[in-house]
Structure 1
Amino acid sequence: MEFLIVCPLAFLAGFVDAIAGGGGLISLPAYLIAGLPVHMAIGTNKLSAGMGTAVATWRFWRKGYIPVREAVFGVLLALAGAWIGARAALLIPDGVFRVIMLVVLPVTGAYVMFGRRMEREETESYASSLRTRALVAAVAFFIGIYDGLYGPGTGTFLMLLLTGLARLPLQKAAGVTKAINLTTNITALTVYLTSGTVLLLLGLTAGLFSICGNYLGARCFSKSGARVVKPVMIFVLVIFFIKTLYELLA
């Protein structure tokens, strides 16, 4: 039953992520709807989501879209942040985590779906490359904590902060985002693996479905794609919200 619920939604999450971003808003609730404990859901989601992120990062690297100097600073701080976030998540009791998610997930979803997007006109970069790298590192550290602790919307938040705060050009920001996101996924996954909160077979199978969804979504991308997938995100979030609220009240 877990496979029947998670795998189709993991495919859908990959499809949505390729078109509009925010696939984690579907994949994480999928595990929770399937009945997994919170920490097990987050840990297993890191495995399946990380597989899709690894493929996307490799494609960006092959095309030369990842600037090494900026990415190195981000990766190092992201590693530290994700480790802190994942360790903190394991200390929060399951019931408390469900209450937190009941508030945070809908708010995150609303911001990712309806919040400000990157502007077409790029902001002029800082004159000091050191300042740029320091800001990239700071963004990576704090978003790394968020991704280790929770996760959904990480890619969107990274893009917004790297273009708005660190003033990276869109192409560089996208490449650095992939490098940081892959780092946070692997780091958090390592913490969850060592704590025994990852279902390997389910995560690997869902990861394959996620990769297929990403591939198909990239091929089906259109300018109206974001508008098409928003109702799907809302539908999954509503199901998750009702199920979690029912369990807490029951």
Structure 2
Amino acid sequence: MKRLITFLIVCPLVFLGGFVDSIAGGGGLISLPAYMMTGMPIHFAIGTNKLSSAMGTTVSTLQFARNGYMKLKLSLMTIMAALAGAFLGARIALHISDYYFQIILLVVLPATALYLVFNKQALKNNKFAERLVGKQVLLSLVIALVLGIYDGFYGPGAGTFMLLGLTGIAKLPINLAAGTTKIINLTTNITALLVFLFSGKVFLILGLTAGIFGIAGNYLGAIYFKRGGAKIAKPIILIVLAIFFVKLIFDFIK
């Protein structure tokens, strides 16, 4: 009975997390707490979540690639920058508490939400450029590196911040920004998953089953993104930011 309850808790929430992640990133803010609610050890919760997330993200990444939302050279360059940043962030995490990141985010999250609410042009750059200027590429690499450090150090919401950074700072079209974010997320997810698998910290049956639900959520999310683009992304990002903010407050109160 306990195993059945675990599946009933995790699978629907992984589906919802996959749907949200495919559109706006931040699906882990929904799926990881689902695993933790079952009472499993934290490292198994993280490792099993990586398995189901990697499965779902693979599907949405393929969908975005099929829709032409990626540029090969830009994707490869930002992947390398993000991986370098994640390695550096993980090294920093060994010496500094994530408490300091949490303090910064308590300011950054409301500021980001206000930016989205009051900036009517946010996430509305829908024209897909055939060629990117050097400044856009350079800024994309910097964003990938910085958020790679954040992902390696702390992590939650990294995909959401990546999408916002690539559209708001690097001025990439939202479709290209979303596609680039997907391929980076997939790479970092698989890298982390391999670490947890080799450490024996993954419940395979639960992760694979939940991964099927994650695939369904990501697939539907990719379809909705294609139909609605920024109109869908903006409200979902606001919801993700609100969930993240509440989670941070809760972590401080505990």
Taking structure 1 as reference, are residues 119 and 189 closer, same or farther at Cα in structure 2, changes over 3 Å only? Answer: same
Q: CA offsets, 1:97-151, max 9 Å, x none?
A: 7x8999799888867877628342579x9x9844332322221122223334443
Between the aligned partners of 2:220 and 2:28, the Cα distance in structure 1 is: 17
What is the letter of the counterpart of residue 53 of structure 1? T
Q: Does 1:182 align with 2:183?
A: no
Within the candidate set 14, 17, 23, 1:10 is matched to 14
Taking structure 1 as reference, are residues 187 and 111 closer, same or farther at Cα in structure 2, changes over 3 Å only? Answer: farther
What is the letter of the counterpart of residue 4 of structure 1? L
TM-score by length of 1: 0.73
Q: CA offsets, 1:76-106, max 9 Å, x none?
A: 11222334445666x59xxx87x89997998
Partner SS for 2:54? helix
In the alignment, structure 2 segments of 5+ residues that lack a partner are none
Within the candidate set 181, 194, 199, 2:198 is matched to 194
Taking structure 1 as reference, are residues 37 and 101 closer, same or farther at Cα in structure 2, changes over 3 Å only? Answer: farther
Size of the aligned set, in residue pairs, is 240
Between the aligned partners of 1:119 and 1:220, the Cα distance in structure 2 is: 16
Name 1:30's counterpart in structure 2. 34
Between the aligned partners of 1:31 and 1:198, the Cα distance in structure 2 is: 11
Query: Are the counterparts in 2 of residues 82 and 144 from structure 1 also a CA contact under 8 Å?
Result: yes
TM-score by length of 2: 0.72
Between the aligned partners of 1:18 and 1:81, the Cα distance in structure 2 is: 23
Between the aligned partners of 1:80 and 1:137, the Cα distance in structure 2 is: 11
Query: Are the counterparts in 1 of residues 75 and 180 from structure 2 also a CA contact under 8 Å?
Result: yes
Query: Are the counterparts in 2 of residues 40 and 197 from structure 1 also a CA contact under 8 Å?
Result: yes
Name 2:81's counterpart in structure 1. 77
Between the aligned partners of 1:101 and 1:6, the Cα distance in structure 2 is: 28
Q: Does 1:164 align with 2:196?
A: no
Within the candidate set 196, 209, 215, 1:205 is matched to 209
Name 1:42's counterpart in structure 2. 46
* Larger deviation, residues 69-78 vs 210-219: 210-219
Name 1:68's counterpart in structure 2. 72
> Runs in 1 of length 4+ with deviation above 6 angstroms?
99-114, 228-242
Shift of 1:230: 7.5
Partner SS for 1:66? coil
Q: CA RMSD in A?
A: 4.0
Taking structure 1 as reference, are residues 144 and 236 closer, same or farther at Cα in structure 2, changes over 3 Å only? Answer: closer
Shift of 1:74: 0.2
Q: CA offsets, 1:149-170, max 9 Å, x none?
A: 4433222111111112222222
Name 2:55's counterpart in structure 1. 51
Between the aligned partners of 1:105 and 1:87, the Cα distance in structure 2 is: 20
Taking structure 1 as reference, are residues 67 and 200 closer, same or farther at Cα in structure 2, changes over 3 Å only? Answer: same
Query: Are the counterparts in 1 of residues 57 and 218 from structure 2 also a CA contact under 8 Å?
Result: no
* Larger deviation, residues 16-25 vs 173-182: 16-25
